[in-house]
Amino acid sequence: MEKTIWFPFLLSLLAGLATVIGSLIAFLSRRTNRRLLSFSLGLSAGVMIYVSFVELLAEAQLTLVEAAGRGAGLWTTAGCFFGGILLIGIIDKLVPSFENPHEARALEDMQTSPSKDERLMRMGVMTSLAIGIHNFPEGVATFMAALENPTLGVAIAAAIAIHNIPEGIAVSVPVFYATGDRKKAFWFSFFSGIVEPVGALIAYLFLMPFMSPSLMGCVFAAVAGIMVFISLDELLPAAHEYGEHHIAIYGLVTGMGIMAASLILL
């Protein structure tokens, strides 16, 4: 890889492996800090939504209008934005609802005696697979954003990492209580997160050879759509499910404020 590729790839790796942090929290904690988790998920959503509309979509529109003219550029931007939403929506639809990794689960609600419970094991395996599928486009998003703007890439990677932590919990807890094996639970969590840098690698191998300002604009618009969908369909509902509606909104506004300040100052 070229030197400039390593930093975006590293960001996608770190964001993906935040699932491991969730796995460790699940093993070391007895109760869920609902207020902190609710605030963190809201903050992550705020960062993603603000970045999507203020930075990514605006940059995509500017690039595509310059390349194709106002009418075609605006339509292409909108088409790619909703195309990104459609893509992640289809992926989300493929995940069975009772095993959806974005359904909020508190640690204390899942801690029962370790047993060979086939249903719990199936839940853990399916959740790991589902999170891996979800993390693939997130890896592409982190990589492409960081490639164009490292500061923006750091913000997106941080937001994705925050929401990957509870996903790590969702994977490791069912596997552990089905098998009693902490190592097995840890590795399931690890492999669900490692898909994210795989997405970055595939983006590098298949998109970079054809990269142009117009294609970058299309990718940015699609990434914006993906992140808006994740925020509205996954992060905010999960934050509310933890029972702290107002704290989730405070986190949302805080995330937007932090992102606004970072884009102005950096």
Contacting residues for 61 by C-beta, under 8 A, at least 6 apart: 73, 74, 77, 217, 221
Residue 109: pLDDT over 70: no
Q: What's the one-letter identity of residue 12?
A: S
* End-to-end alpha carbon distance in the chain: 27
How far apart are the C-alpha atoms of 27 and 21, rounded to whole Å?
10
Residue 30: pLDDT over 90: no
- Encode pLDDT of 141-182 as tens digits: 888 888 888 888 888 888 888 878 877 877 777 777 777 778
Residue 108: pLDDT over 60: no
What pLDDT shows up at residue 189? 86
